[in-house]
Amino acid sequence: MMGDLNWTATTVFVFFFAVVTVVGFLASRWKAGDLNDLHEWGLGGRRFGAWITWFLLGGDLYTAYTVIAIPSVVYAIGAYGFFAVPYTIIIYPFLYLTLPRLWAVAHKRGYLTAGDFVVGRYGDRGLELAVAVTGILATMPYIALQLVGMEKVIQALGFPRQGIYAHAPLSLAFVILALYTYKSGLRAPAMIAFVKDIMIYIFVLAVVVIVPIQLGGYGAIFDAAGKVFEAKVAANPKLAAGLTLAPQQVGPYITLAIGSAMALFMYPHALTGALAASSGQAIRRNAMGLPAYSFLLGLIALMGFMAHAAGVKVDNPQDAVPQLILKSFPDWFAGFCFAAIAIGALVPAAVMSIGAANTFTRNIWKPFIHPEMTKREESALAKLVSLIVKVGALAVIFFIPTQFALDLQLLGGVWMIQVFPAVIFGLFTRWFTGRALLIGWAIGMIVGTGLSSGATAWVPVHPLAWDIPLLGKLDLGLGFAAYNGLTAVILNMIAAAVVSALWRTSSADETAPADYEDRSIAAGQA
Amino acid sequence: MKYILLFAPCVVALATPLYNSINPELAGAPFFYWLQLLLIPVSAVFIFLADRLGKSRP
C-alpha cells in the first residue's frame, strides 16, 4: 500500500510540519493578551508591526492554491495565466490609498470586520448582513481549495490517491491546524507565516536558479514551451494558448486583473490581516513591501513553462509543479519544497477560518440572534465557528467533486467584488445611502451569477453582448469579453448611484471624518 | 504628483496590447514576461516615492 512512498521526502516533510505545529501552539503566548477577547483572538490585539504584517499578509494572500493553480494555467495555456502579475501590481496602490483609512476607523470604533464598518457607517443591518454573508460564502470554497493544494503535494510524496488512506494525511494535518487555531487565534498563522514565507522564498529561488541551469537557460525554456503550445494549437485550432495572448484573451486578461484586485481586499481573510496591523503606516509600508511576493508569484508562474521544458507530461495541470520539483531536485529538497507548499496552505486556511468566524460572530449571530453577547461569549463562539468552518471545508473535499469547489471559488470572486462599493466608497463619502448600496449589491449578485452560468459549465468571462429578457439583444460593440465580476460590479455601482440620487433615506452614521485619518491617531497617541 | 506616481504603473500594467509580444527579448525571455516582471519592483518604488511626497506635504 505504501510501497510508492518517497521516504526521504516524506521524512523532511513531516519534520517541517512538526516544527510549525509546535510554533502554532506556542503562538498563544506571543505578545500575550487575553484570548477570551475577540480583539485578541481574532485580530491579534492589533499589535502587528510592519514586518509581522508583511509576513502575515504575504503568507495569507499568496496561498498554496495560488502556488499550484497559477503555474497550472500557465502550463495549460501559457500567457493567460500571467494575469496574476498585473492583478498584483494594481492591488498595492489601491491598498495604499484605502486600507489605512479603513484601519483608522476600525481602530477608533473597535471594528473587526467589513460588516462592522458598514453598519457603523450606514446604520443599515440589511447591508451588514449582505456584506457578511457574501464574505462567508466566498471564503468557504477558498479554504477547501487550500486543501486541494495541500493534497496535490501529499499525493506527490507517493501517498495513494484512492482508497481509505487517501484522505488520512490531509485530515490529520487539518485537525492539527484546527486545534492550534482554536487555541492561539490569529497569532498562530502570524507566527507560522515566518516559517512558511522563508521556506517559500528558498524553494522559489532554488527553482528559478537551478532549473534553468539544468535546462539550458530561460531562452531554451521559453522555446520548448512555445513548441508545446504550437503543437497543442495545431491539434486543436479552437484552443487559445501560447507565449503571448490571443486577441480574444486580451479583454478577459485585463478585466480579470482589475476585478480580482477589487475583490481581494474584500475577502474577510485579507481584511483580517490588514486590520491586525498596529498602525496605518504599517499598512502603507506593506504596500511597498508586498510586491516582493508578487515578483515571487511571477516566478512561480514561470514554473508552468519550466515543466514543459523539463518534459513533464501530466493530465491534470495541477500536478505540473509537484512533478517538476520531483524531476529537478533530490528527494530531501523535494520534501522541503512540498512542505513549503503545504504549510503555505495552513496560513491562509487559518486566517480565512478566523476571518469567517469573526464575521459570523459579529455580523450575523450577535445582531440577529443574541445581541447581549459578552466579550467572552463572542470569543468562545468565534473559536467554535472557526472549527466548524474547517470541518466544513474538509467535508467539501471528501464528499463533493473538486470541480464544485473550483466553481464555487470562481463564483465567490464574482460575489465578493459586489461589496466593494459599500466598503470602499464608504471610506470616502457618505453620499451613497445604505439602502441604495444594498439594492446595488443584490443586482450585482444576480447579474454576476447569471452571466457566469454558461450552457455546460460556470464561466468567469462573458462577451459584452447580452440577450436580456423582455428587452432583447444589447451589444456594447466593444468586441471583447469581460470578467463577470467586473461587469456586475459596474451595474451595481450605477444602480447604487441612481437609487442614492432619487431616494434619499436617512440613517445614523456613527463615524466622524476625523476617524478616517490614521496619522492623527498616531499623533494623538504620541 | 502623488497620484500620478501611484497610478502610472497600474496604467502600464493594464495596457496589455502594448506588451503582448515576443520581441524585444531579454535574456531569452519574451517581452510579455520580462516587462510585467520588471514592472513589479518599479511599482513598489513608485509607491515609496508617493509616500515620501505625501509626508513632506501633508
Contact flag A96-B17 (C-beta cutoff 8 Å): no
Which whole number is the average pLDDT over A299-327? 93
CA dihedral A422, A390, A269, A382 (to 10 degrees): 70
Whether the per-residue pLDDT at A166 is higher than 80: the answer is no
CA A517 to chain centre: 27
Of A455, A429, A435, the C-alpha closest to A513 is: A429
Per the structure, the complete domain to which residue B32 belongs is given by 2-56
Strand partners, A461: A483
B1 contacts chain A (CB < 8 A): no
* Residue in B29, B39, B48 closest to A218 by CB: B29
Of A303, A231, A239, A293, the C-alpha closest to A71 is: A303
Chain A nearest C-alpha distance from B51 (Å): 8
Which whole number is the average pLDDT over A328-334? 93
As given in the structure block, the three cell numbers for residue A72 are 497550472
- Please provide residue A313's backbone torsions phi and psi, each rounded to the nearest 5 degrees: -120, 110
| Residue of A70, A243, A244, A281 best to disrupt the B interface, most CBs of B under 10 A | A244
Q: How many domains does chain B have?
A: 1
| Cα A443 from Cα A439, distance rounded (Å) | 6
Whether the per-residue pLDDT at A384 is higher than 60: the answer is yes
Contact flag B44-A243 (C-beta cutoff 8 Å): no
Q: How many residues does chain B have?
A: 58
B48 contacts chain A (CB < 8 A): yes
Question: Quick one: pLDDT band at residue A469, thresholds 50, 70, 90?
Answer: low
As given in the structure block, the three cell numbers for residue A39 are 480583539
Contact flag B28-A294 (C-beta cutoff 8 Å): no
Cell 466593444 -> residue: A478
Question: Are A167 and A398 within 8 A, CB to CB?
Answer: yes
Sign of the torsion angle spanned by Cα atoms A353, A358, A360, A363:
negative
Which whole number is the average pLDDT over A92-103? 95
Which whole number is the average pLDDT over A447-451? 92
Chain B contact set for A223 (CB, 8 A): 28
Whether the per-residue pLDDT at A389 is higher than 60: the answer is yes
The DSSP output letter for A403 is: H
Contact flag B40-A89 (C-beta cutoff 8 Å): yes
What share of chain A has pLDDT > 90, as a percent?
A: 60
Cis peptide upstream of residue A317 (ω within 30 degrees of 0): no
- 0.95 surpassed by pTM: no
Which whole number is the average pLDDT over A201-229? 93
Sign of the torsion angle spanned by Cα atoms A326, A327, A330, A331:
positive
B37 contacts chain A (CB < 8 A): yes
Which whole number is the average pLDDT over A165-186? 86
What share of chain B has pLDDT > 70, as a percent?
A: 95
Domain boundaries, chain A: 7-421
Q: How many CA atoms lie within 13 A of A301 on its CB side?
A: 26
pLDDT for A475 equals: 72
Chain A contact set for B28 (CB, 8 A): 217-223
| Cα A206 from Cα A222, distance rounded (Å) | 19
Whether the per-residue pLDDT at A458 is higher than 90: the answer is no
Question: Quick one: pLDDT band at residue A461, thresholds 50, 70, 90?
Answer: confident
User: Which are the contacts of A442, defined by CB distance < 8 A and separation ≥ 6?
Assistant: A130
Whether the per-residue pLDDT at A33 is higher than 90: the answer is no
Q: Where are the alpha helices (DSSP H) in A113-159?
A: 114-122, 125-156
Kindly report, residue by residue over A355-383, the tens digit of the pLDDT: 999 999 999 999 988 888 888 899 999 99
pLDDT tens over chain B, length 58 residues: 889 999 999 999 999 999 999 989 898 899 999 999 999 999 999 999 999 987 765 4
- Please provide residue A113's backbone torsions phi and psi, each rounded to the nearest 5 degrees: -140, 170
As given in the structure block, the three cell numbers for residue A297 are 508569484
What share of chain A has pLDDT > 70, as a percent?
A: 96
Do the bridges between strand A465-468 and strand A461-463 make them parallel or antiparallel, or are there none, so unpaired? unpaired
pLDDT for A375 equals: 87
Question: Quick one: pLDDT band at residue A323, thresholds 50, 70, 90?
Answer: very high
| Cα A423 from Cα A419, distance rounded (Å) | 6
Question: Are A129 and A114 within 8 A, CB to CB?
Answer: no
**A7-421 classified as CATH 1.10.10.10:** no
Which whole number is the average pLDDT over A329-350? 91
A428 contacts chain B (CB < 8 A): no
